[in-house]
Amino acid sequence: MTKGQGLFSAPLQVHIFDGLLSDFDGTIIDSTDAIVKHWHKVGEELGVDPKVILATSHGRRTIDTLQLYDPKRANWEYVSFVEGRIPKEFGSDAVEVPGARDLLSQLDNAGACWGVVTSGSRALIDGWLVVLNLTHPKMLVVAEDVELGKPDPRCYLLGRKRLGLEHSSSLVVLEDAPSGIRAGKAAGFKVIALATTHSLAQLQEAGADWIVEDLRSISVQGVVDGRIQLEIRNAYQ
């Protein structure tokens, strides 16, 4: 995505949250090239133009995408099979989003209350964590855990519950996709959007509270009385 000069220059801000929930693909890792190759392979197997699938698949659960193009294969056994092979076959085509490894280490070292809420299957996420040698989240909500995917907010509400924060609305969500931003906002949380996969206009329209280039703009100052002190630098203004 092309970004204008000087747009990401807002003054440093510090905000306090009870917990942090992060999307995975496009937020912690960038597997765009791997996913493109994956959908080309699946598209050929299904007899569907991969370009058509790719136009609707980002930020969406594979089972929901399959429901559109081949409902007979829209089941978790098939999803786990096809997604489980992505890290194995296309692992070299994925990288961590800049700043991701540092932020995850900061969250763990500070004893922060955090977790991942993803549209990917457990087989996919477990595979990427191994291939990229990333910190395993303390709490994980995967595609199989919810009846409806993003932008439905139930995935993030389940994440809050699993963190033991069921009665708190003071959570922050990290997202890159409009559907995920809408899910976080519908859950009643603040959302920091990463300009890694979508345009500024799309992120703004979805309702992001802050927009940053990547995770290098976010750091943990500390955890006080169980609450995360989160520093946001160079947000879009």
Q: Which fold has domain 13-31+95-232?
A: Rossmann fold (3.40.50)
The sheet with strand 218-224 has its strands ordered as 13-17, 227-232, 218-224
d(CA 22, CA 148): 18
d(CA 214, CA 196): 7
Given 18, 25, 30, 176, the catalytic residue: 25
- 117-146 pLDDT, tens per residue? 999 999 999 999 999 999 999 899 999 999
- 78-125 pLDDT, tens per residue? 999 999 999 999 999 999 999 999 999 999 999 999 999 999 999 999
d(CA 214, CA 96): 11
d(CA 225, CA 195): 32
The domain limits of the chain are 13-31+95-232, 32-93
pTM score over 0.95: no
Residue 209 appears among annotated catalytic residues? no
Mean pLDDT, the chain, rounded, equals 95
Taking alpha carbons only, the member of 232, 26, 191, 227 closest to residue 107 is 227
pLDDT for res 56: 85
Residue reference for tokens 């081949």: 70
Residue 25 appears among annotated catalytic residues? yes
Given 23, 30, 176, 214, the catalytic residue: 23
d(CA 184, CA 152): 9
Asked if CATH classification 1.10.150.240 holds for the domain at 32-93, the reply, yes or no, is: yes
